[in-house]
Amino acid sequence: MNNLNNMITIILISIGVIFNILGCIGLLRLPDAYNRLQAATKCVTLGCCSILLAVVFHFGISDAGAKAVIAIPILFFSSTVAAHALIRGTYHFGVKLSDRSVKDDYNDAIK
């Protein structure tokens, strides 16, 4: 039982770290601010939720497990709302889209 629990913990942390690696590569390599935030926020949020789920599996029903269960929805909702507000502010600040973008629907919507 203990061995199985350790294996689930390691697998969940590995999934989370892989998601984080992909998100950070997107943060470094993509051309403009919108693409960077779109790649990084989703991947990193999901990866850190997976790591916190590993904490739940590792500690079971105890104080640390309860803290991790509380932390998962806080992280999920706060990071997505913050990303939405941040990208809205970026658009109003006047950052140009990259040359390779093909469509700008938000510009038509706010007119």
User: Is 40 in contact with 23 (CB distance < 8 Å)?
Assistant: yes
Burial class of 24 by CB neighbour count within 10 A (0 to 12, 13 to 18, 19+):
middle
Spatial distance between the Cα atoms of 109 and 111, rounded to a whole number of angstroms: 6
CA 12 vs. chain centroid, Å, equals 15
83 near another protein, rule: CB under 8 A = yes
Site for another protein in 30-69 (CB under 8 A): 33, 36-37, 40-41, 44-45, 47-48, 51-52, 54-55, 58-59, 62-64, 67-68
Q: Using CB under 8 A as the criterion, which residues of the chain lie in contact with another protein when the complex forms?
A: 6, 9-10, 13-14, 16-17, 20-21, 23-24, 27-28, 33, 36-37, 40-41, 44-45, 47-48, 51-52, 54-55, 58-59, 62-64, 67-68, 70-71, 74-75, 78-79, 81-83, 85-86, 88-90, 92-93, 95
